[in-house]
Amino acid sequence: MNDSPDRTPQGRGRARANSGSGNDNSGGQWGNSSGWGGGGGSSGNGSGGWGGQQWSPPPPPAPRPGVVPLRPLGVGEILDGAVSTTRLYWRTVLGVSATVALGTQAAGTTVTGLWFRDVAGLNKLADPGTADLHEVLDAVGKSLGSLTVASLVGLVGTIIASAMLTVVVSRAVLGRPASMGDAWRDARPRLLALTGLFLLVPLLMAAAFAVCLVPGLAVAAGSDAGISGDPSGGGAGLLALGGLAGMAVAAWLWVRYSLAAPALMLEKQGVIGAMRRSAKLVRGAGWRIFGIQVLAAFIVFMIGSMAQIPTSLIDGLVTGESTMDHLTWTSLIINGVGAAIGSALALPITAGVTALLYMDQRIRRESLDIELARAAGM
C-alpha cells in the first residue's frame, strides 16, 4: 500500500474531459464513458496588468447536486456524505438497514435461545475436564452450529443491505429520489455476483494468512518429532512472526479489494472484473483508503457500543443475576434489540463510506465528476 499522491486534476474546465476514463469495460450508473472529444478552450493572452502578470478569476465552486460536491473529497466530506445520505433519505436507508438488522438479529437470537438455553453447555467448553467426552462433543457441536447459522444469516443480510444502500448512495450523490422499491429493483440482479465477491475475498484473506503460518507450523512439528532438534521454542517464534505477516497480508488484500463491491454494483462488473477494478482504483492510495476505512470501522464500533449500553442496563435490571445460570429468552431479546439498533445505525455508515470512497477515487483518476455533473443536468 504505497501512499503516493493522487493525480488530482487541478482545473475544472473542459480540459478535464481529455483525461479519459480508463480502459476497463464498465457501464451502469457510474460506468466509464469514452469518446469525449474536443480540446480545451484557447487561453487568451490577457493584458499585462501589474508587472505583465496574467490575472485569471478563481475557479467556480464545484457543483453539488446531492450530498457531496462533485470534486475530490476530504475525509470529513466522505463521512459527512454518508451521514447526510442517512439524514436526507432516512425512510429508505433506515428502512433497509432496520429490516435487515432486525431479521438477522431475530434469527441469531432464536438459534441461540434454542441451542443455548442452559449456559452449562458453554461452561463445558470452558472447562472440558468437568464433563465426559460425549457432553463436550455435544457442546462443541451446538456452538459450531449456532455460529454457522448466525454467520450465514448475517452474511445474507449484509449482502442485501450493502447492495441496496450502495444504490441509494449513488442516487443521493446525484440528488435523485430513492425509494426502497427503486433500491431493490436495481440491486436484485447483482445479488448473486455480490455474494460471490463477499465469499471470495475472505477466502483469499484466510488462505494468505494460513500460508504465512506454514513455516512456523512445520518447524514446530519437526521439533515435536525430534527432527529439527530445536526444542527452544524457535517454532513458536516463527509461528508468531508468520501470524503477524499473515495479518499484514490479509489487511493488504482487504484494502486492495475494498472498492470491489461498489464497482460490481454500479459498473455492472463481474466478480473478478470488480476485484481488478478495485485494485486499479486503490493503487497509489492504499494508506489513505486504509485510514478512512479504519476510522469508519471505529465510528461503527462506537455506535454499536453506545446502542447496547441502555439495553444492557435494562437487561441487568429486569433479569438480575439469573442470567449467570441460564440464558433466558428475556435476556436474549433485550440484548438482541440493542444489537439490532446498533447494526441498523452502522450499516448505512459502512456502505456510504465505501461507495463515496469509490466515487472519490474515480474522480481523482478518471474525472468522474464531469460525467456525474452531466448526469445531474448541471
DSSP readout, 48-63? --GGG----PPPPPPP
Q: Helix (H, G, I), strand (E, B), or coil: what is residue 72?
A: coil
Question: What's residue 170's pLDDT?
Answer: 96
Asked if 347 and 101 count as a contact pair (C-beta separation under 8 A), the reply is yes
pTM given for the model: 0.78
Q: Cα separation of 131 and 125, whole Å? A: 9
Q: Cα separation of 7 and 19, whole Å? A: 11
| Sequence-distant (≥ 6) Cβ neighbours of residue 296 within 8 angstroms | 79, 82, 349, 350, 353
Long-range contacts of 238-244 (CB under 8 A, 24+ apart): 239/213, 240/216, 241/216, 242/212, 242/213, 242/214, 242/215, 242/216, 243/209, 243/212, 243/213, 243/216
Q: Cα separation of 97 and 341, whole Å? A: 9
Length of the chain: 378
The one-digit pLDDT tens for each residue of the chain (378 residues) are 544 444 444 444 433 434 344 444 444 455 543 322 333 334 344 444 445 557 777 777 888 999 999 999 999 999 999 999 999 999 999 999 999 999 999 988 888 777 765 555 555 555 555 556 666 667 667 777 777 888 888 899 999 999 999 999 999 999 999 999 999 999 999 999 999 999 999 999 999 999 999 988 887 776 655 555 555 456 678 888 999 999 999 999 999 999 999 999 999 999 999 999 999 999 999 999 999 999 999 999 999 999 889 988 888 888 765 444 556 788 888 988 999 999 999 999 999 999 999 999 999 999 999 999 999 887
Query: What are the angstrom distances between the C-alpha of 337 and each of 181, 219, 308, 326, 347?
Result: 26, 48, 8, 19, 15
Amino acid at 193: A
List beta partners, residue 326: 118
Question: What's residue 368's pLDDT?
Answer: 94
Can you give the C-alpha Rg of the chain in angstroms? Answer: 26
Q: Is the dihedral of CA 128, 133, 134, 137 positive or negative?
A: positive
Question: What's residue 277's pLDDT?
Answer: 97
C-alpha cell belonging to residue 351 = 456502505
Separation of CA 378 from chain center = 30
